[in-house]
């Protein structure tokens, strides 16, 4: 029998970075540590927001208690979002090096391209801005900031250099999984969200630690701190078979509303960036609009947990109230996010969806044409059908329903609505709001992880080390002599200033540079990616392609076809190793 040493494989003793036991230990410890920190941070953020909501008269209970105090509540309704927006603008302007809120798109981009997250200072400033935004009643969500907070804590592991492959991405995913598990008391949903949205693969190496982190988050939230469930629903089951067609129809309609919601956010964000209003004042302007609207519709303030819970109760809202709330929440959320309040879209999508589901049931029930099983199942189907295409996580939303309700029938109903919603939204909008936001930044994940990485990899990184070059100021025959002595069949010629002049073939005729040089069959520049180079090299014959600076015409280098293919194979192999890693 051949020993590992004699076959070229060195034995790695336990406790060393290359040993599976070492890797398993590090992954487990990181999962528990990151999961605990992320869960505590998520709970702390939630409690801070609740405290601010109470003292700033955003919470319904606080408003009711002080309703008799003259103009106190109306004045606070307008001024608190305005002043909160001003504080958010100041925080992002003076404390954050990136001067904008951070969220799930930043996490996805960092993990998919194996980059560090934005600076820690930017993450802390963004979290502070989100706490102020949510505390002041902005119509934004808390789960996006929680996701980034968990990812930021997981990202600290990168600094330790523990010698475990893929550990930075896995630790970020652990933080995300724990944050979602804590937020919803749903560890399975937290686990799946980390893989479905952030990692986008299910390797054993990542699945095991994210499971541990999600379970840790659940234990912290549900056992240690005994956090209450998001809502409680009593449902005895779907009573009529024809209702599954109604769930599918609700899913299709919710997809249309989700597309409108996402497009409105993108539109308002683009218009805000083009406006003359300084970035510092934009959140305050959105806060003023929100405060004025809240004088008539106080339910648009904040996260809206009370409104969400009431939506599952028959008769809690009149049909007109539901319609107005859906429209107002949708528009004000787009305004708050587009104008710079820090927060997510998850919570507003849940609220808009549950209100829309209740409105759908109200309309069906009013016709008296078909029997239904009550408002609760339609409200929850609407909630998840609208949310899933916004965040790009259909499996996560289905599992959240199951873990929150522990009801198999309502989960099946939600699954039908979610599937039809995602089919429509993916076809007419994209995988999620996060992916479209990234695509607008130049990071397109819609055609796969490999193409995205190849698109982000500049071909100029793979220039040949010692091509045959020359200058038009040199003797033509000297350059030809060097070319003849080499393995190259082409020389790449510049003028004395380094600007590219042309290609000199070994068989080229002519006695002057003008006669001997030819234009290259292909040319790249500093922005050309490996993917673009692969596509451009179809049918190419020659030694290499010159890479020319588009700004001044200077020759950066030359890239061979073999180097481009090798770069492509390296990226593909790295992805396969990551997606199939065990330890």
Give CA separation, 322 vs 48, 315, 349, 352, 353, in Å: 29, 11, 15, 9, 11
* Cβ within 8 Å of residue 562, ≥6 positions away: none
- Are 70 and 169 in a shared domain? yes
First CA to last CA distance, the chain: 26
Provide the pLDDT for residue 17. Answer: 55
| 197 shares a domain with 303 | no
Mention every residue, 6+ apart, whose C-beta is less than 8 A from residue 101.
Answer: 92, 126, 129, 130, 340, 341, 342, 343
Domain count, the chain: 3
Last residue of a domain, one of 416, 443, 470: 443
What is d(CA 79, CA 63) in angstroms, rounded to the nearest whole number? 14
Same domain for 216 and 254, yes or no, is: no
Q: What are phi and psi of 216, to 5 degrees?
A: -60, -45
N residues, the chain: 583
| Burial of residue 423 (number of CB atoms within 10 Å: 0-12, 13-18, 19+) | middle
* Residue 7 falls inside a structural domain: no
- Residues 105 and 85: their CA atoms lie apart, in Å, by 22
The conformation of residue 224, written as its DSSP 8-state character, comes to I
Q: Are residues 403 and 482 in the same domain?
A: no
Distance CA 79, CA 524 (A): 55
Question: Where is the domain boundary, 164, 189, 224?
Answer: 224
Residue 9 lies in a domain: no
How many CA atoms within 13 Å lie on the side-chain side of 236?
5
State both tokens at 187.
């560890």
pLDDT of residue 442: 87
In a domain, 236, yes or no: no
Domain identity same for 59 and 85:
yes
Is there a domain that residue 580 lies in? no
Please tell me whether residues 205 and 292 are part of one structural domain: no
Tell which residue, 442, 111, 381, 65, has the closest CA to residue 252: 381
Would you state the structure tokens that stand for residue 125, as one six-digit string? 């400033």
Pairwise CA distance, residues 449 & 556, whole Å:
28
Residue the block writes with tokens 């998520």: 42
Same domain, yes or no: 207 and 280: no
- Asked whether 295 and 74 are in contact (CB, 8 A), the reply is yes
**CA atoms lying within 13 Å on the CB side of residue 491:** 26
- How far CA 421 is from CA of 250, 294, 334, 444, 523, in Å, comes to 8, 30, 20, 22, 45
Considering the domain architecture, whether residues 311 and 399 belong to the same structural domain is answered as: yes
Pick from 300, 40, 285: which is nearest to 149 by CA? 40
Give tens-digit pLDDT for 433-449. 999 999 999 898 988 89
Alpha helix segments (H runs only) across 406-467: 408-428, 433-440, 449-456
Radius of gyration of the chain (CA): 29
299: domain CATH number is 1.10.3080.10
C-alpha dist (Å) from residue 575 to 112, 199, 314, 409, 410: 10, 11, 50, 38, 38
**Axis crossing angle, helix 394-405 with helix 375-391, rounded to the nearest 10:** 150
Compute the distance between CA of residue 433 and CA of residue 435 in angstroms, rounded to an integer: 6
Same domain, 79 and 161: yes
The whole-angstrom distance between residue 212's C-alpha and the CA centroid of its chain comes to: 22
Question: Which residues of the chain carry a pLDDT beneath 50?
Answer: 1-15
| 116 and 202, same domain (yes or no) | yes
420 is a domain residue: yes
Distant-in-sequence, close-in-space partners of 482: CB < 8 Å, separation ≥ 6: 468, 470, 491
- Assign 558 to helix, strand or coil: strand
58 and 173 belong to one structural domain: yes
Q: Could you tell me the CA-to-CA distances from 556 to 81, 231, 390, 463, 545 in Å, in that order? A: 52, 60, 42, 8, 11
CATH of the domain at 517: 3.10.580.10
Residue 309: predicted pLDDT:
86
pLDDT of residue 16: 52
Domain-located, residue 6: no
Contacts for 178 with CB less than 8 Å, ≥ 6 apart: 34, 35, 36, 38, 39, 42, 150, 190, 213, 214, 216, 217, 220
The pLDDT score that the predictor gives to residue 155 is 95
176 and 304 in a single domain? The answer is no
Residue 5, Cβ neighbours under 10 Å: how many? 9
Domain boundary among 395, 418, 443: 443
Range of the domain at 547: 454-573
* Residue 119 DSSP SS3: coil
Residue 578 within a domain = no
């Amino acid at each position: 029998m051949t020993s590992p040493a004699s076959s070229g494989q060195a034995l790695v003793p336990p406790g060393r970075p290359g040993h599976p036991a070492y890797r398993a230990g590090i992954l487990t410890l990181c999962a528990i540590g990151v999961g605990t920190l992320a869960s505590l941070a998520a709970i702390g953020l939630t409690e801070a927001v609740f405290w601010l909501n109470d003292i700033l008269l955003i919470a319904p209970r606080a408003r009711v208690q002080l309703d008799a105090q003259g103009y106190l509540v109306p004045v606070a309704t307008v001024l608190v979002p305005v002043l909160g927006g001003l504080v958010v603008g100041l925080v992002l302007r003076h404390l954050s090096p990136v001067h904008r809120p951070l969220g799930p798109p930043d996490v996805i981009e960092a993990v998919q391209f194996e980059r560090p997250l934005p600076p820690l200072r930017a993450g802390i400033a963004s979290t502070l801005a989100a706490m102020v935004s949510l505390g002041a009643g902005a119509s934004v969500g808390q789960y996006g900031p929680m996701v980034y907070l968990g990812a930021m804590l997981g990202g600290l592991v990168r600094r330790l250099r523990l010698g475990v492959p893929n550990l930075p991405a896995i630790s970020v995913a652990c933080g995300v999984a724990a944050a979602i598990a804590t937020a919803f008391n749903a560890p399975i949903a937290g686990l799946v969200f980390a893989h479905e949205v952030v990692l986008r693969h299910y390797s054993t190496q990542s699945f095991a630690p994210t499971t541990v982190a999600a379970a840790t988050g659940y234990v912290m939230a549900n056992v240690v701190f005994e956090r209450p469930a998001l809502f409680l629903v009593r449902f005895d089951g779907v009573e009529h078979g024809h209702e599954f067609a109604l769930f599918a129809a609700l899913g299709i309609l919710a997809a249309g509303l989700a597309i409108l919601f996402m497009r409105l956010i993108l539109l308002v964000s683009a218009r805000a960036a083009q406006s003359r209003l300084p970035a510092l004042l934009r959140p305050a302007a959105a806060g003023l609009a929100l405060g004025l609207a809240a004088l008539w519709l106080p339910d648009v303030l904040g996260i809206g947990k009370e409104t969400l819970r009431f939506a599952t109760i028959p008769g809690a809202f009149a049909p007109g109230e539901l319609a107005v709330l859906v429209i107002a929440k949708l528009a004000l959320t787009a305004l708050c996010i587009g104008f710079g309040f820090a927060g997510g879209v998850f919570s507003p999508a849940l609220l808009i969806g549950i209100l829309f589901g209740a409105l759908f049931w109200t309309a069906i029930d009013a016709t008296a044409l078909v029997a239904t099983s009550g408002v609760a199942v339609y409200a929850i189907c609407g909630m998840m059908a609208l949310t899933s295409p916004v965040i790009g996580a259909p499996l996560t939303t289905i599992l959240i329903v199951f873990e929150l309700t522990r009801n198999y029938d309502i989960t099946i109903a939600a699954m039908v609505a979610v599937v039809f919603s995602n089919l429509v939204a993916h076809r007419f909008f994209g995988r999620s709001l996060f992916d479209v936001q990234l695509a607008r930044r130049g990071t397109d994940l819609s055609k796969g992880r490999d193409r995205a990485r190849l698109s982000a990899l500049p071909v100029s990184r793979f220039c040949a080390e010692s091509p045959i070059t020359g200058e038009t100021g040199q003797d033509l025959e000297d350059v030809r002599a060097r070319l003849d002595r080499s393995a190259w069949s082409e020389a790449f010629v510049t003028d004395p200033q380094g600007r590219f002049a042309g290609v000199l073939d070994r068989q080229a005729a002519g006695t002057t540079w003008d006669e001997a040089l030819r234009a290259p069959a292909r040319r790249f520049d500093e922005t050309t990616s490996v993917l673009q180079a692969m596509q451009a090299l179809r049918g190419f014959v020659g030694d290499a392609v010159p890479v020319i600076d588009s700004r001044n015409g200077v020759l950066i280098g030359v890239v061979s076809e073999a180097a481009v293919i090798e770069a492509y194979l390296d990226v593909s192999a790295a992805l396969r190793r990551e997606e199939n890693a065990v330890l």
